[in-house]
Amino acid sequence: MSAQTTKGRDFHRLTTAWNIAFHAVAGIFALLCVFPFLFVTIISFTDETTLARNGYQLFPEKWSVEAYTYLFKAGDQLLRSYGVTIMVTVIGTVIGVVFTALFAYAISRHSFKYRNFFAFFAFFTMLFNGGLVPTYIIVTQLLGLKDSIWALILPLAVNAFYIMILRTFFSTMVPDAIIESGKIDGAGEFGIFFKLVLPLSLPGLATIGLFSTLGYWNDWFNALLYINTPNLVPLQSMLMRIENSMQFIMQNSQNASLSVGVLQSMPQDTSRMAMVVLATGPIVFAYPFFQRYFIQGLTVGAVKE
Amino acid sequence: MIRKKRSFTVALSLLLAMSIVLSACGGGKNNSEGTAEKPVELIWYTIGTPQKDVDKVMAEVSKYTAEKIGVTVKMSMIDWGDYSQKLQVMTASGEAVDIMFTSSWAFDYVQNARKGAFMQIDDLLKEHGQGIVDTLDPAFLEGSKVDGHNYGIPANKELPAQEVWRFNKQYVDKYKLDTSNVYSLESLEPLLKTIKENEPDVYPFAVDKNQMPYVPYDYVIEKLPMAVSLDTTDYKIVNVLDTPEMKQILNTMHKYYKAGYIPTEAATMDSMTDVQTTGKWFADRATSQPFADNLWSASYGYPVVSTPASDAMIYNWSVMGSMQAISANSKYPEKAMEFLNLLNTDPVLRNMVDSGIEGVHYKKASDNVMENLDESKNYDMPTFSLGNVMLTYLNTTDPTNKWEEFKKFNDAGKPAPLLGFNFDTSKVTTEIASVQNVKEEYWAALMTGTVDPETYLARANDKFKAAGLDKIMAEAQRQLDEWRAANK
Amino acid sequence: MGAFGRFFKNINKNAAMLIMVLPATLWFIFFSYLPMAGMVIAFKEYRYSRDGFLASIIESKWVGLQNFKFLFSTNDAYIITRNTVVYNIFFIVLGLVIAVAMAIMLAEITNKRLAKVYQTGMFLPYFLSWVIVGYFVFSFLSLDRGVVNQVAGWFGIDPVNWYSDPTYWPIIIVVVFLWKSVGYNSVIYLAAIMGIDKSLYEAAMIDGANKWQQIRNITIPMLTPLITILTLLAIGKIFYADFGLFYQVPRDSGTLYSVTNVIDTYVYRGLKSTGEIGMSTAAGLYQSLIGFVLVITSNGIVRKFNKDNALF
């Protein structure tokens, strides 16, 4: 009630009670999401034997950086992998957003005669695919991308899901009047797209950019398939390789040669957690760059008078 | 060449044709290749964590092999967890490979031999692999035949499998327990009881979801309940869950579970590595090889002792523990066989592949003993996966009679009844898929003693029946009878 | 080149649009449509030929619908289909409601800095693999050392053997799924709310509409096209399940299969030992076909109401 009186006619603001309620719901959910991540970080700094004995603890008896020492043993490999990942992510996201935006914009326009055909053309690929082996043959034999950085970039560049989302953004966010006014001013289709449509669609583009960035950042499977050269192995792939192999060897612990020969040189739980920290840390810092496009003063514009 | 009735496939595949044509260019065989002056390159895929110095060592290896047999070697290592999947995609897409690692537990040998991933090497072995035939215990080549033919070369290593009970020596000593009389699962009981009563923090019997109680049966397919008795005379395939031995064992396991000897969540535990790290366990079961106690003790950091739990038997899966196969599309199969022959007979080559370059990665302590140097961290290979292990130099810590003991162990092994018989599942793949799902549903809970076999066994068997286990067994029996008739 | 130049000069509306769709279209041809030829493997007993993939396909034996049979051969067929579809319906409905609600809350919260912090936090589960999530769930639900049983013990409640009691798993699965996906999905809606023309709200305020009326009459209607599209796309995947969620999180516990076995885990377990590519391709084709039929149907229904909200 008090909010109503002090803010006068500002209907756009929530009442204090609702504001508090929203804070509580969003805050508690966010906390539930952050907590495991904090826990992961703590476990990654726990001593391995302590962990095996006591299980996961918020305040471990004994701390240790052993897990990180193990991972950093790879040394320059780790740095190179960061480099590969960043390069792939940046180039891939740029290509991906450009391809996606062009295609999505075209099929969002009523004036485009074949819009439904192309929408279907894209949608169809979301459901049907030929499977791993045919794709592998196209990439390695037809396109000759084996052991090339493009084998990490191209297979993820376009995604029909993003196209469908972005098309919806274009058709709901960009009023027809703007495009018409552009035409009256004599701008071409590309001019309208770049000068008028894109600036209006920044939240949508940022969403696709973010998803695409995360897709590239987290991808490890393409590297498993196409990359043999250690110089081109991205971060997640390097970490997943270790993770998969630990899992595999544990599951085959009955195998005498494997269990005695190999298991002992493998890092354990703490290293897994350290891997998550190493792989996620940098990208979390990149997050705010995108975030400003989808959380910003909704109210600023509304109450400017 | 392409028949008319297949034109539908052709039409569908037409898009792909382009790629194949393009990629097929540039092949072409040259007869003058494969000499010391003009060696051919063999591409070799093997399992293990990729090592930094592989290329460096292979350059050395290539110098040696070019001289000897006119080949150079390019080795690609694929890490443990990725190997099966990557090789599956590569072979299915017909990628150029010459030699690849295969086994019963990674990139399944029998399955891929049947699908045509490997070259049949009966003749190649005779012509270019005589050294292998002479070195290997005949059981290796006999036991790794698929439908009567060889498709891979087993590594000369431990041949039979022997089950043992392992004990954490600390507790054996502390309570002055006598392990010499332990053999059957039942005979463990007094020991487990002692531990349970005195050491509340210790798992008396460390069992995880991979637990397979030992029963004297030879399984047709690993972990599917079809088997023949080890001392069978009529080679009748039975449902192992119906046998008195299995029933007794499952009852005992359930008794142990209720008594608290077995970890409460054994049925969902992937492994016991945590417990092994802390040493908070007393007994478990494992597959052994000569001097395994030393290896285990060294690996855990505290002493482990073991006593036998079964005879040493030669099974298909123990024979196929580590193999090298020649790819079906290898351009130089003869050269590949020559190389494998050299790898399995020539100590210089074998040790170079295993330990790297002398003076860089290791140094020699005496004639057949070596010591790792610091650089060996850049070339740390899994010895057992790279051919004849009995040619490899001993470590300074190894007993000098290591390989003699291995030979003795191998000689003592008795062939299991199904050695050399490999079930062809292609007629019953549908049933296998259903039966596998039933197996996954009930197996771990039963085998770890978590559930009462009195009620669960019947339920599992009903579901197995509904899923078509009988049909699979009948098909297996038919193939087994044929195989026996052919191998009389 | 001359012809092309003249064609280009001829500025035809569709030509500009066709150029826009060209890059992604080429991509789709290479990375999606060419490999689709491989779907023929679903009707083959795939065996390798030494002459490469094409020869392998041609020489492999036709087996008709044999490869599809394992999906329907036992009672499990009903269980896996039911589980897959029912879970997905819950995921679609609850996921939608919660993600939209969360997006609206974040957009309305007056303190933008805190809103950003919350939103970043909600995103973090996306980065944890299912294996890791599985560990966490285990640290809560473990019989002996799990947090839940310990807390229950303080209140004198008997410990529950979570991993062998299917009763609670439908809820656990849904909660874990929502926990992991809400942050990611709410971003889309949040961005859509940002894109809503501010003048609509100003007009509403001048008319004296309160916050709830604004949300009901502006925000939600403006989100409807996006909600429709995302729901349609989700319907297409209704026969697919997230393997990790149903395999790693319940720790592959056999006693829970009645509520955790889904098509993807069934196929994985069934083909583990035979590795038949034909059968896995068949399973994928089956999942896609059903999804395709459902999307086409629901898209047709959507078109009846509002052509603009339909996929195509």
- The residues near B25 (Cβ < 8 Å, ≥ 6 apart) are none
Does B22 touch chain C if contact means CB atoms closer than 8 Å? no
pLDDT surpasses 80 at C280: yes
Question: d(Cα B55, Cα B75) in Å, to the nearest integer?
Answer: 7
- Direct distance between the N- and C-terminal alpha carbons of chain B, in angstroms, rounded to an integer: 41
Query: Which residues on chain C are in Cβ contact (under 8 Å) with B93?
Result: 52-53
Same domain, residue pair C236 and C255: yes
Chain B residue with minimal CA distance to A138?
A: B19
Region A174-180 average pLDDT:
85
β-strands B238-239, B71-78 pairing: unpaired
Subunits in contact with chain A (3 or more CB pairs closer than 8 Å): B, C
- The residues near C170 (Cβ < 8 Å, ≥ 6 apart) are C87, C259
Chain C residue with minimal CA distance to A4?
A: C210
- Cβ <8 Å between A250 and B299: no
- Cβ <8 Å between A102 and C24: yes
* pLDDT band for position A246 (cuts 50, 70, 90): confident
pLDDT surpasses 60 at C117: yes
Same domain, residue pair C42 and C25: no
pLDDT the model gives residue A173: 82
- Cβ <8 Å between A253 and B20: no
Q: How far is CA B68 from CA B72, B73, B272, B341, B390, in A?
A: 10, 13, 47, 12, 22
Residue C119 is nearest to which of A173, A279, A295, comparing CB atoms? A295
Same domain, residue pair C3 and C78: no
Sheet with B40-47, strands from edge to edge, namely B71-78, B40-47, B99-102, B323-326, B152-154
Query: Which residues on chain C are in Cβ contact (under 8 Å) with A221?
Result: none
Does residue B298 fall inside a structural domain? yes
Same domain, residue pair C239 and C108: yes
Percent of chain C with pLDDT over 70: 96
If you search the block for the tokens 């190649």, which residue do you land on?
A: B124
Higher pLDDT, A113 or A160: A160
Question: d(Cα B87, Cα B278) in Å, to the nearest integer?
Answer: 36
Tell me B310's DSSP state. S
Query: Domains in chain C: how many in total?
Result: 3
Does residue B24 fall inside a structural domain? no
The alpha-carbon gap from C67 to the nearest alpha carbon of chain A, in Å, equals 15
Residue A171 is nearest to which of C41, C109, C225, comparing CB atoms? C225
Region A40-64 average pLDDT:
84
Does residue B23 fall inside a structural domain? no
Same domain, residue pair C296 and C248: yes
Q: Which helix or strand (DSSP H or E) is residue B75 part of?
A: strand B71-78
Same domain, residue pair C198 and C293: yes
Residue A228 is nearest to which of B20, B76, B106, comparing CB atoms? B76
Same domain, residue pair B405 and B434: no
- Which range marks the domain in which residue B437 is found? 425-486
Does residue B231 fall inside a structural domain? no
Same domain, residue pair B305 and B274: yes
Residues 148-207 on C with a CB inside 8 Å of A are 179, 182-183, 187-188, 190-198, 201-202, 205
Give me the residues paired with residue B219 across strands: B227
Give me the residues paired with residue B286 across strands: B164
- Cβ <8 Å between C11 and A130: no
Does residue B226 fall inside a structural domain? no
Does residue C210 fall inside a structural domain? yes
- Cβ <8 Å between B85 and A224: yes
Same domain, residue pair C29 and C47: no
Region C4-12 average pLDDT:
54
Subunits in contact with chain B (3 or more CB pairs closer than 8 Å): A, C
Chain C residue with minimal CA distance to B108?
A: C273
Does residue C69 fall inside a structural domain? no
Residue A48 is nearest to which of B212, B275, B277, comparing CB atoms? B277
Query: Which residues on chain B are in Cβ contact (under 8 Å) with C142?
Result: 265
Give me the residues paired with residue B254 across strands: none
Query: What CATH number is associated with residue A111?
Result: 1.10.3720.10
Tell me A223's DSSP state. H
Query: Which residues on chain C are in Cβ contact (under 8 Å) with B336?
Result: none
Residue B270 is nearest to which of A52, A244, A250, comparing CB atoms? A250
Q: How far is CA B266 from CA C130, C150, C248, in A?
A: 21, 20, 16
Chain A residue with minimal CA distance to B50?
A: A230
Question: d(Cα B129, Cα B21) in Å, to the nearest integer?
Answer: 34
Average per-residue pLDDT for chain A: 84
Does residue A262 fall inside a structural domain? yes
Does residue A276 fall inside a structural domain? no
- Cβ <8 Å between A11 and C188: no
Q: Looking at the predicted complex, does its ipTM rise above 0.95?
A: no
Query: What CATH number is associated with residue C146?
Result: 1.10.3720.10
Query: Domains in chain B: how many in total?
Result: 3
Query: Which residues on chain B are in Cβ contact (under 8 Å) with A142?
Result: 18-19, 22-23
Does A41 touch chain C if contact means CB atoms closer than 8 Å? no
The alpha-carbon gap from C79 to the nearest alpha carbon of chain A, in Å, equals 23
- Cβ <8 Å between A158 and C24: yes
- The residues near C16 (Cβ < 8 Å, ≥ 6 apart) are A188, A189, A190
The alpha-carbon gap from B234 to the nearest alpha carbon of chain A, in Å, equals 30
pLDDT the model gives residue A249: 81
Average per-residue pLDDT for chain C: 90
**Mutate which of B45, B49, B80, B280 to disrupt the A interface (most A C-beta within 10 Å)?**
B80
Same domain, residue pair C48 and C165: no
Does C145 touch chain A if contact means CB atoms closer than 8 Å? yes
Residues 145-204 on A with a CB inside 8 Å of C are 154-155, 157-158, 160-161, 163-165, 167-169, 171-173, 175, 188-190, 193, 200-201, 203-204
- Which range marks the domain in which residue C53 is found? 36-64
Same domain, residue pair B78 and B109: yes
- Cβ <8 Å between C195 and A204: yes
Same domain, residue pair C109 and C222: yes
The alpha-carbon gap from C235 to the nearest alpha carbon of chain A, in Å, equals 11
Same domain, residue pair C188 and C223: yes
Residue C266 is nearest to which of B111, B426, B437, comparing CB atoms? B437
Give me the residues paired with residue C59 across strands: none
Does residue B22 fall inside a structural domain? no
- Cβ <8 Å between A244 and B380: no
pLDDT the model gives residue B237: 96
Same domain, residue pair C142 and C25: no
Query: Which residues on chain A are in Cβ contact (under 8 Å) with C248?
Result: none
**Mutate which of A22, A100, A132 to disrupt the C interface (most C C-beta within 10 Å)?**
A22
Instruction: Produce one character per residue of A251-263: b if its CB has 16 or more CB atoms within 10 Å, e if not.
Output: bbbbbbbbbbbbb
* pLDDT band for position C8 (cuts 50, 70, 90): low
pLDDT the model gives residue B6: 44
Same domain, residue pair B406 and B354: yes
Query: What CATH number is associated with residue B325?
Result: 3.40.190.10
Q: Which amino acid is at A123?
A: F
Same domain, residue pair B331 and B267: no
Estimate to the nearest angstrom the gap between the alpha carbon of A274 and the chain centroid.
19
Same domain, residue pair C145 and C265: yes
Does residue B7 fall inside a structural domain? no
Same domain, residue pair B168 and B294: yes
- Residue B265, both tokens: 């969540």
Query: Domains in chain A: how many in total?
Result: 1
Same domain, residue pair B192 and B293: yes
- Cβ <8 Å between A252 and B105: yes
pLDDT the model gives residue A275: 86
Query: Which residues on chain B are in Cβ contact (under 8 Å) with A259?
Result: 286
| Per-residue pLDDT tens digits for A6-28 | 333 444 567 788 889 999 999 99
Residue B467 is nearest to which of C74, C161, C279, comparing CB atoms? C74
Tally helices (H) and strands (E) across chain A. 18, 0
Per-10-residue mean pLDDT of chain B, 488 residues long, equals: 42 46 42 78 94 94 95 94 93 93 94 94 94 93 92 94 94 94 94 94 92 91 91 94 95 96 91 83 92 86 93 92 95 95 96 94 91 90 92 91 93 93 92 94 94 94 95 96 88
Query: Which residues on chain A are in Cβ contact (under 8 Å) with C105?
Result: 22, 25-26
Query: Which residues on chain A are in Cβ contact (under 8 Å) with B49?
Result: 245
- Which range marks the domain in which residue A200 is found? 75-266
* pLDDT band for position C185 (cuts 50, 70, 90): very high
The alpha-carbon gap from B251 to the nearest alpha carbon of chain C, in Å, equals 19
- Residue B310, both tokens: 């079964």
CA dihedral B184, B186, B187, B192 (to 10 degrees): 120
**Mutate which of C10, C26, C32 to disrupt the A interface (most A C-beta within 10 Å)?**
C32
